[in-house]
Structure formats: C-alpha cells, structure tokens
Amino acid sequence: MPAIVVIGAQWGDEGKGKATDQLGESVDYVVKFNGGNNAGHTIVVGEEKFALHLIPAGALTATCTPVIGPGVVVDLDVLCAEMDELAERGIDTSRMKISANAHLIPSYNRTLDKVTERFLGKRKIGTTGRGIGPTYADKMNRIGIRVQDLFDPSILEQKVRAALDQKNNMFVKVFNTRAASAEEVTGQLLQYAERIRPMVANTTVLLNDALDEGKTVVFEGGQATMLDVDHGTYPFVTSSSATAGGACTGSGVGPKRIDRVVGVAKAYITRVGEGPFPTELDGEQGDWLREQGGEYGTTTGRPRRCGWYDAVVARYATQVNSLTDLVLTKLDVLTGLDEIPVCVAYEVDGKRYDDMPADQTSFHHATPVYENFPGWNEDISHVRSFEELPQAAQDYVLTLEKLSGVQISAIGVGPGRDQTIIRHPLT
C-alpha cells in the first residue's frame, strides 16, 4: 500500500485539501508535515463547507487518523478552537495524533511577526502575522518550545524565559512595544496541556509502523512549491519546506518509503502576499478570474492575485518534487472564455527561458511568452468522465499535461467532493 505525498505545485491555494479529502476514504493516516495555521484548506461536503487550518483534511473521514507531524508549528489557541468548531458540526477529532516534537507558537511570536512586518514597511514579506516565521526561527536558533515541554512545567518556564531574554530587548528597544511576561506566556500554554495530552505521540514510530503493516499514509503539504523556503521565490516564501522533500523531514518517514508524489495545480494560477508573479493579471481579466474562482484566502480573507497558467512553474514543480501525478483543479472557472492564454516560456532582456531562471532578478523581470488555446462555453460542473468534456476543454488539459511534464490524473470541475474527473486512480 502506498505512501502518497500531496503538495501544491504553484503558490498555494490550489485545492490540496479537496485532493487529500478525496483520497480519505481509502487512506488510513493523513499527515500534516509543515507550516502552521498560516494556510487553510476549504473542503465542501454536500451542502457543508469546512475551512481547516491546522487539522489535516483526513479529520473529515471517520476511518482516517489525522496526524500533526514534527515539522509543523502549532498554535494551541487555534488548534483547540478548530477542534471545538468541528465538534459542534459533528466531527470527532479525538483520534488525532500530535507529534511530541512539533514546535509551539507562543503569543510573543505572533506579536513579533506583526511588528516586524510593520517595521519593514515597503519591504514587507506579506506574512499572515500568525507567528509562523518567528517560531521556525526559534526552532533553528534552538530556543523553541515543543509540545512535549507542556508536560514539564519547570522546563517550559525555563525555555520561555530564555527566549524572552532575547526577544524582550527587541520589543522594548527596537519596536517600542511592551515586554512579554514569562509567567503569563507559560500560563497561556499550560492551560491546554491536559486537553491535548491523550493525542501526543511519537508520530514517527506510529507512521513507520503503519507503513510496515501495509496501511496507506497521505502526507498533506501546506503552502506550495513556489513558497518553499529553499526552492521558492525567496524571501517571499513561507518558513518551512513545502516541497516533497519536506514530507520526509517533517514526518520522520524516509524517502525510500514514498510511492507517489501528487502535485495540485489550478487550471490558472494565483498567489497571496508579496513577491514576483510573471503571469499576474491587472484590471478586468484578473478581477474576472478572482470573482469566478472565489479567490479569497481561506485563512486571511485576502484577495488573491490571479494570472494565467504558468507552464514554466509547473515544469519546475515537476522537477523539484519528482511529481508522478498532477491534479488540475478549477477547470470549470475558465468556462465562458473564448481564448485561454498559457505561459509556455519567459523572456528576459531579449533571451527566452523555457525553464526557471537561475536568479530571482531575472524571474522578477520575466515577461511571459503566451500561446493561446480555444475556450469553451458549456457547463462542465456535472461532467464525471474526461470524454464528456467539450473537445476544447479536453485539448486544454492535454496541452497542460504535455507542457507540465507529468500526467494529469484528476480534474476538478467544481468545489464539491464529487465534482472530480478521475483519469488515473491515485491509490
């Protein structure tokens, strides 16, 4: 049975949650391996819409165990509020497992995230202000706080004090804001200790044992390839490893155990926050895509920047992640267009680039080289087989498949669980 990685092949918001959820009925574990509550998955089940931020999409399937891996940073306020909200809607999250090695987001890092963005002014990164970046920085600086520290209050307070010895100087002397209290922060964190204690586990052992037993594990990535801290549009990226390699480091499951790597991409492309975006559309076309696609952030509500499909980005994602499959979402959004442009290459200072330029400056100044393809007017939201799609829609999908360098195994034609065309089974 497979270990399947599901990651974003663009700048996020591609529909990874729906893709993971659709695998859920045949999956035993769904693992969140990176990021925190700075990303959200919207999943539509019947008439109900669920917005998940920290809890893996597998929580919506009763037979699946959701797992928060050691590569995740956890805001306990958000986690518990999300569990409460799901409980009110009849979803039991008590079977969830949380890595003892996952890092916690203390309140002072949320403060630091927000004041740093204000301080940067025009040079801001465009973070969500959730404290994600400062918490990953603490992790690398070895002053982080982990889930397991909740169960040793003395150690917890010592670690909080050590972190605040550095941060309070910044708060007061650089950002002109009040110092944080170690006692107050420790108390905030400890209030959740008993609630999550039954869920805390050595998830690395749990997942490797599950694979040894022939169970199916899906690794659900947050953010996306172009937001990866090493491989994305740095510094306009997230603070974790959002590519397929991150699934291994963020879960404790080695690369030899991964069977399939599924990238998820929209039939066009969006991004949130600052940073270069070659195919971005200003004006009426961008507005039309945003409204047709409902392109507003699940976590922040921010309007997403919209553009045409970028095959250069898709090929890059295929290489970086060793994609075996691509799930193409929101094909239905393009219905009604007479012509659909696709970026097949870039031009920088008169030179054509069929692959990603080596440096950020070239990428920032890249002009898209477009090829135009016929559109369609038929409603495709009810279509469940590839052959039933209008010929122009079929041709568009096959063109993207060829340009992206990986087979398109599933096609989303609406937000619902059942609004998907399966060309090649993923499990």
Residues 120-162: tens digit of each pLDDT? 666 666 667 789 999 999 999 999 999 999 999 999 999 999 9
The pLDDT value recorded for residue 57 is 83
Task: Read off the pLDDT of residues 249-290 as tens digits, 9 standing for 90 and up.
Answer: 999 999 999 999 999 999 999 998 889 999 999 999 999 999
Question: Letter for the amino acid at 8?
Answer: G
What pLDDT score does 121 carry?
67
- Amino acid, single-letter form, for residue 80: C
Q: How far apart are alpha carbons 250 and 87 in whole angstroms?
A: 27
Strands 305-307 and 260-266: unpaired
User: For residue 298, what pLDDT band results from cuts at 50, 70 and 90?
Assistant: low
Peptide bond preceding 134 in cis form (omega within 30 of 0):
no
What is the per-residue pLDDT for 256?
95
pLDDT tens string 80-121: 999 999 999 999 999 999 999 999 999 999 999 888 877 666
Q: Would residue 424 show up in a list of annotated catalytic residues for this protein?
A: no
Give the H/E segment covering residue 107: helix 107-120
Measured CA distances, 291 to 277, 306, 408, 420 (Å): 19, 10, 26, 21
What is the Cα–Cα distance from 244 to 226, expressed in whole angstroms? 12
Measured distance CA(1)–CA(182) in Å, rounded:
47
What's this model's pTM, rounded to 2 decimal places?
0.92
The secondary structure of residue 368, as a DSSP letter, is: E
* Residue 173 amino acid letter: K
Q: Which residue is catalytic, options 28, 41, 113, 228?
A: 41
Identify the band that residue 49 occupies on the pLDDT scale cut at 50, 70 and 90: confident
- 245-277 core/surface letters (b: 16 or more CB in 10 A; e: else): bbbbbbbbbeeeebebbbbbbbbbbbbbbbbbb
Q: Give me the catalytic one of 13, 75, 149, 310.
A: 13
Helix (H, G, I), strand (E, B), or coil: what is residue 347?
strand
DSSP 3-state assignment of 186? helix
Locate all alpha helices (DSSP H) within 235-379, ordered by sequence.
244-249, 284-293, 311-321, 360-364
Rounded Cα–Cα distance for residues 143 and 149 (Å): 12
Is a pLDDT exceeding 80 seen at residue 3?
yes
The SS3 assignment for 192 reads coil
Q: Reply yes or no on whether 365 is catalytic.
A: no
DSSP 49-69: EEEESSS-GGGGSTT-EEEE-
Tokens of 109: 């890092």
